Structure 1
Amino acid sequence: MAKKDSYHDFLKEDFNNLFTGINLGDVQKHFLRSRWLDQVLWMEAKANSSRDRHYFLRLTTIVGGVILPALVSLNINANFKSNNRDIIMWSTFGLSQIVAISAAIEEFFHYGERWRHYRRTVESLKTQGWQFSQLTGSYRSYTSHEQAFNLFASHVEDIIQRDVEIYATQVVQEKKEERQNQEDHILLQNTKITNLEEKKEEE
C-alpha cells in the first residue's frame, strides 16, 4: 500500500512542479489541478486496483484449475485411510468452489476490461498533459501555454466525455446480458417444470 501511495504522491508532486513553471492564470492552473490532475490520479488508482484484482482472480482460477485434476485423481485412484480421504475430498470440494467463485467474480466485474479501459484513458490524459507542457503534438503551432490552453482543455474534456460514454455503454450492455441470462434461466426452469408435468401425466 505504501508503494502505491508513494507513486500517487510522486505523480501529484511531479505534475504540480510542472504546473508551477508554466505561465498560466490562476483559473487555468485551477483547471489543471482540479480537472486534469484529479482525473489522472483517480484513473491511475482505478487502473492499478482493477489490474491487481484481475491478476489475483485470474491466478487463483489458473492455479486452482491446475491443482484440481491432481486432487480428483488422488480421490479416485489412491487408497487412503478414512481421515486422509476426507481431507482430500473436502480440499477438492473447497478448491473447486474457490476456482468457480474467482471465475464468476471476474466474469461479473470484468476487472481485466476495466483495467485496460482506465489505463488507455489515463495514458491519453498524460499524453495531452506532457504535449501541452512542451507545446508539442497538436500544440506545436502555439507560442505560449496561454494560447494553447483552450485546445488543451477541449482535448481533456473530450477524453473524459468519451470515457463516460464508453462506461455508460458497457453498463447498458451488462444490464442487457444480465436480463437475457435471467430470461434464459426462467425459460429453462419453465421447460423443466413442463417436462415433469408431462411425465407425471404419462404415468
Structure 2
Amino acid sequence: MAKKDSYQEFLKEDFNKLFEGMNLGDGQKHFLRSRWLDQVLWMEDKANLSRDRHYLLRITTIIGGVILPALVSLNINTTSTLQVNERARNIIIWSTFGLSQIVAISAAIEEFFHYGERWRHYRRTVESLKTQGWQFSQLTGPYRDYTSHQQAFNLFAGNVENVIQRDVEIYSTQVIQEKKEEQQSQENYILMPNAKTTNLEEKKEEK
C-alpha cells in the first residue's frame, strides 16, 4: 500500500512541476489539476486495485483447481484402505470440501465483478489521458501545430473531455449489458421449472 501511495504522490508532484513550467492562466492550471490530474490519479488507483483483485482471484482459482484433484485422489485412497486413521481422513475430507468452496467462490466473484475487464478498461483510459498530457506538455501529436500551451489548451481540454466521456459511455454500456444478461439468466432459471411442469401436465392430459 505504501508503494502505491508513494507512486501516486510521485505522479502528483511530477505533474504539478510540469504544470508550473507552462505559460497558462490560473483557471487553465486549475483545470489541469482538478480535472485531468484528478482523473489520472483516480483511474490509476482503480486500475491497480482491479489488477490486484483479478490476480488474487485468478491465482486462487488456478492453484486450488490444481490441488483439488490430488486431494480427491487422496480421499478415495483413504476411503478404500483401513490403514489411515480417522483423524487424517477427516482432515483430507474437510480440506477437499473447504478448498472446493474457495475455488468456487473465487471464480464466482471474478465472474460477477469482472475485475480483469475493469483493470484493462481503466488502464486503457488512464494511459490515454497520460498520452494527452505528455503530448500537450511537449506540443507534439495533435498539438504540434501550436506554438504555445495557451493556444493549444482548448484542444487539449476538449480531448480530455472526449476521453472521459468515452470512458463513461463504455463503462455504462458494460454495466447495463451485464445487468441484462444477469436478469435474462435469472428469468431462464425461473422459467425452466415452469416449462417442465407444463410439459408434464400436457403429457398427463394426453394420456
Q: TM-score, normalised by structure 2?
A: 0.93
Structure 1: state its 5+ residue gaps.
Answer: none
DSSP-derived class of the 1:150 partner: helix
Aligned residues: 202
Aligned to 2:181: 177
Deviations 1:158-194 (A, max 9, x none): 0000000001100110111011110111022324545
Q: CA deviation at 1:200?
A: 9.4
Aligned to 1:144: 148
Measured in 1, the distance between the counterparts of 2:111 and 2:164 equals 26
Letter in 2 for 1:151: L
Q: CA deviation at 1:100?
A: 0.3
Deviations 1:64-122 (A, max 9, x none): 00000000000112332211111101110110000000000000000000000000000
Deviations 1:16-73 (A, max 9, x none): 0100111100000000000000000000000000000000000000000000000000
Structure 2: state its 5+ residue gaps.
Answer: none
Aligned to 2:160: 156
DSSP-derived class of the 1:51 partner: helix
Between the aligned residues of both structures, percent identity stands at 82
Letter in 2 for 1:37: L
Matches within 5 A, 1:51-90: 51-78=51-78, 79=81, 80-90=84-94
DSSP-derived class of the 2:69 partner: helix
Q: TM-score, normalised by structure 1?
A: 0.95
CA RMSD of aligned residues (A): 1.8
Aligned in 2, Cα 1:43/1:74: closer, same or farther, shift over 3 Å?
same
The answer as to 2:95 corresponding to 1:91 is yes
DSSP-derived class of the 2:99 partner: helix
DSSP-derived class of the 2:13 partner: helix
Match of 2:104 among 100, 105, 108: 100
Letter in 1 for 2:130: K
Measured in 1, the distance between the counterparts of 2:101 and 2:196 equals 26
DSSP-derived class of the 2:150 partner: helix
